[in-house]
């Protein structure tokens, strides 16, 4: 009898919103796993930015997506060996800017990091083709960050 009354008065949970939410999360993770090349390209660009400010231990690094309870999240564990000095950052920025200017003149896509480092990255990019995708966009992204105003070199 209590069951009967409970059924009569109970309002069913509006589970469609739960379905929508679960679907949204599962599709995000599906789509990422279907596009590993894009994921690698994104990771590469993120690291380019970080490297300008930090010395990173790339072997100990772990970047992945996680489908947590309510949130689809990008989890990054990037061991930092050293924080660069203001001078080093300023120098790198200077080199990057000059390279970019040169790029515009030569209209040749490249990556805005100091030359020595760049060669090494190129070699790795060749081994891992997807990382080399859209180099011009990469430069554009760096430019955008510069425009947003990195900390001014002091001292």
Partner 1 sequence: MPDLDRDIQDTLASPSGASAQLPLDASAAAAVKLGRSIVVTSGKGGVGKTTTTANLGTALADAGRSVVVVDADVGLRNLDVVLGLENRVSKHLLDVIEEKCSLDEALVRDRVRRNLLLMPAAQNREKDDVPEEKMAQLVRQLQERFEFVLIDCPAGIEQGFRNAVVGAQEAIIVTTPEVSAVRDADRVIGLLPRAIELKLVVNRVRPAMVKKGTMMSVADVNAILRLDLLGVVPDEREIIIATNRGTPVIDIEGSETGAAFRRIARRMLGEEVPIPSFEDKRNFVTRVMSTLGLGRS
The smaller minimum CB distance to partner 1, of residues 20 and 64, is found at 20
**By CB under 8 A, residue 129 contacts partner 1:** no
Query: Taking CB under 8 A as the rule, does residue 19 contact partner 1?
Result: yes
SS3 readout for the chain: CHHHHHHHHCCCCCCHHHHHHHHHHHHHHHHHHCCHHHHHHHHHHHHHHHHCCEEECHHHCEEEEEECCCCEEEEEECCEEEECCHHHHHHHHHHHHHHHHHHHHHCCCCCCCCHHHHHHHHHHHHHCHHHHCCHHHHHHHHHHHHHHHCCCCCC
Is 26 a binder of partner 1 (CB under 8 A)?
yes
Determine, following the binding rule CB under 8 A, whether residue 22 of this chain makes contact with partner 1. Answer: yes
- Nearer Cβ to partner 1, position 22 or 86? 22
The site for partner 1, by CB under 8 A, has a size of 22
Stretch in the footprint of partner 1 (CB under 8 A) among 29-37, 106-114, 133-141, 145-153: 29-37
């Amino acid at each position: 009898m209590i069951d009967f009354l409970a059924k009569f008065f109970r309002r069913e949970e509006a589970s469609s919103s739960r379905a929508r939410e679960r679907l949204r999360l599962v599709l995000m993770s599906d789509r990422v796993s279907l596009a590993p090349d894009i994921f690698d390209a994104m990771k590469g660009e993120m690291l380019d930015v970080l490297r300008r400010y930090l010395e990173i231990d790339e072997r100990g690094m772990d970047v992945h997506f996680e489908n947590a309870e309510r949130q689809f999240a990008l989890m990054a564990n990037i061991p930092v060996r050293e924080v660069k000095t203001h001078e080093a950052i300023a120098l790198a920025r200077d080199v990057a800017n000059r390279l970019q200017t040169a790029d515009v003149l030569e209209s040749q896509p490249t990556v805005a990091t100091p030359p020595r480092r760049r060669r090494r990255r190129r070699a790795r990019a060749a081994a891992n083709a997807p990382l080399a995708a859209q180099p011009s966009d990469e430069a554009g992204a760096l430019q955008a960050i510069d425009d947003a105003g990195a900390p001014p070199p002091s001292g």
